[in-house]
Structure 1
């Protein structure tokens, strides 16, 4: 009888511990028919992530008591048009990009959370990327993606960084938010490029009511020239529409400097939403200063909370030697390129 009581007590304690933790499977499957036309060649393809990035992920949290919790997040990019996984970068240096299999290239982190905020370790978005995607009506996905990202000189850490140590402020600061991130290239000492891929980035913002605004700074070290980036962005919700804008600057030491901006908006229409944006990016060089200007217009129709149909049109014009092209097409310098997306997104 005593052994039975002990066994029941152990089971009850185990059940209580399990009740304090949870694991969630989540993902997005987004299929896109994409067409691009340029002065040199056109391209037609079935691809993915025209509205939201296709992904498969696992996340979980455990209540440690006393206001503390531990959590993890593993998120893999998925190319659902051909079944492969997304590429990744192991040390913030472009030459080491690998992929094809299912890798947790989008995010791979473990965190400790409490009243002090969150300490997050692993591969994650960089602070300098958040303003580009949050304040872009197209969320940096598909043919409508802001030109401040497509033409960016920000290098391998423009979007994500591996080997990162991050800190996020707690969410009870009256609308103020912020983060700091240090990431490492992990090269051996005693080599000329020992600091390649090392970087530090900061972001601070305020979101309350209809207003959301933030500014970010970063510097990533490279033997060929450190890259300093900064950007700022904002959004205002008018009720009938959300207007947003951002400005971006990328400066390579003893090299080129790129500057650009976006202005756009989101307009609810029945069960859907109209998306529109104008973005531009110019690279200051010794000679001509190539510039690409893009206009983008799209519509998303929500069939449910998880399923949506969408279409996007974009056109980029190039000047001073720029040759940006859309959806895999090729265009000559100073010529235009046009692209279309038609797709369906399902999330779970």
Structure 2
């Protein structure tokens, strides 16, 4: 009888512990047929992430009591068209990019959460990236991605940073939100590149009702010149459509500066959504100032909450010596390029 009572007590304690913690498997598989045309060559390919980034992830949270919790997030990028993993960067310096296998390159963090907010450690998105993707109708995915990201001079930490220490404000501040992040290149203190890959970034915003607006600042130190970035963006929900815009500026100490903007919108149509955007980015040089402009139009049709079909068209114009192209095509200086995405996205 005593052994039975002990066993029941152990099971009850185990059940209580399980009730206080949880682990979730999640992911996205997005396959895209992409075509790009340019004045020099065209390209046709089956690729991925034309609507949402393909990924495989694990996340979990444990209730510590007293309003506190601990959590983790491990998220790997996937190239489902060929089965390889995404590229990562170990110390925020371009020469160290690796990939091919399954790496948790998108996010790998552990956090402590409470009434004070969240302290997050590991590889994570940088504050300077959020305004570019949140206020882009295409979410910085596929051929419609804003030129303020595609042409950015922001360097390896434009999207994510490794070795970061981050802090997020609590979510009960009447719509105000904010993030601070410090990241390290992890070089020896007696080396010439001791600060290469170190950076500090801040973001603050307000989201309430139909309004969402934010501003971000960052500075990352590199041997080739420190990069300062500032951007701001906003969105207003009209009910029949969401309009959004953002501005981004990158300054390299002793080098070129770049700046650009996006204006666009999302329009619900039945079970789907129309996406449209115009974006531009110019690099200030001693001579001509290369500029690339993009007009993008897309449609997403939701077959269910987890599965969607999509199509996107984008037209790129180059001026003053620019020669960018879409979907792997090659175009000459000051020539145009067209790109098309057709795909299916399934999330789980």
Range moving further from structure 2, 1-10 or 261-270: 1-10
Deviation string, structure 1 residues 16-42 (Cα, Å, up to 9, x no partner): 011100000000000000000011110
Deviation string, structure 1 residues 291-312 (Cα, Å, up to 9, x no partner): 0000000000000000000000
Range moving further from structure 2, 274-283 or 2-11: 2-11
Distance in 2 between residues matched to 1:211 and 1:268, nearest whole Å? 18
Please report how far the alpha carbon of residue 6 of structure 1 lies from its aligned counterpart in structure 2 after TM superposition: 2.2
Please report how far the alpha carbon of residue 166 of structure 1 lies from its aligned counterpart in structure 2 after TM superposition: 0.3
2:28 matched residue in structure 1:
28
Deviation string, structure 1 residues 242-291 (Cα, Å, up to 9, x no partner): 00000000000010000000000000000000000000000001111000
Please report how far the alpha carbon of residue 2 of structure 1 lies from its aligned counterpart in structure 2 after TM superposition: 2.4
Q: SS where residue 138 of structure 1 aligns?
A: coil
Please report how far the alpha carbon of residue 4 of structure 1 lies from its aligned counterpart in structure 2 after TM superposition: 2.8
Distance in 2 between residues matched to 1:90 and 1:286, nearest whole Å? 34
Please report how far the alpha carbon of residue 65 of structure 1 lies from its aligned counterpart in structure 2 after TM superposition: 0.4
Distance in 2 between residues matched to 1:194 and 1:186, nearest whole Å? 8
1:247 matched residue in structure 2:
247
The two structures, once aligned, show a CA RMSD in angstroms of: 0.6
Q: SS where residue 7 of structure 1 aligns?
A: helix
Distance in 2 between residues matched to 1:299 and 1:140, nearest whole Å? 15
Please report how far the alpha carbon of residue 235 of structure 1 lies from its aligned counterpart in structure 2 after TM superposition: 0.1
2:163 matched residue in structure 1:
163
Please report how far the alpha carbon of residue 14 of structure 1 lies from its aligned counterpart in structure 2 after TM superposition: 1.5
Please report how far the alpha carbon of residue 106 of structure 1 lies from its aligned counterpart in structure 2 after TM superposition: 0.3
Please report how far the alpha carbon of residue 182 of structure 1 lies from its aligned counterpart in structure 2 after TM superposition: 0.3
Please report how far the alpha carbon of residue 231 of structure 1 lies from its aligned counterpart in structure 2 after TM superposition: 0.1
Deviation string, structure 1 residues 172-200 (Cα, Å, up to 9, x no partner): 00000000000000011111110000000
Q: SS where residue 164 of structure 1 aligns?
A: strand
What residue ranges of structure 2 are gaps of 5+ in the alignment? none
Q: Deviation above 4 Å: which 4+ runs of structure 1?
A: none
Distance in 2 between residues matched to 1:333 and 1:208, nearest whole Å? 45
Q: SS where residue 18 of structure 1 aligns?
A: helix
Normalising to structure 1: TM-score of the pair?
A: 0.99
Deviation string, structure 1 residues 122-160 (Cα, Å, up to 9, x no partner): 001000000000000000000000000000000000000
Q: SS where residue 11 of structure 1 aligns?
A: helix
Q: SS where residue 131 of structure 1 aligns?
A: helix
Distance in 1 between residues matched to 2:342 and 2:288, nearest whole Å? 36
Distance in 2 between residues matched to 1:260 and 1:230, nearest whole Å? 11
Q: SS where residue 240 of structure 1 aligns?
A: coil
Please report how far the alpha carbon of residue 9 of structure 1 lies from its aligned counterpart in structure 2 after TM superposition: 1.2
Aligned residue pairs, count: 348
Deviation string, structure 1 residues 49-108 (Cα, Å, up to 9, x no partner): 000000000000000000000000000000000000000000000100000001000000
Distance in 1 between residues matched to 2:5 and 2:299, nearest whole Å? 62
Distance in 2 between residues matched to 1:48 and 1:128, nearest whole Å? 25
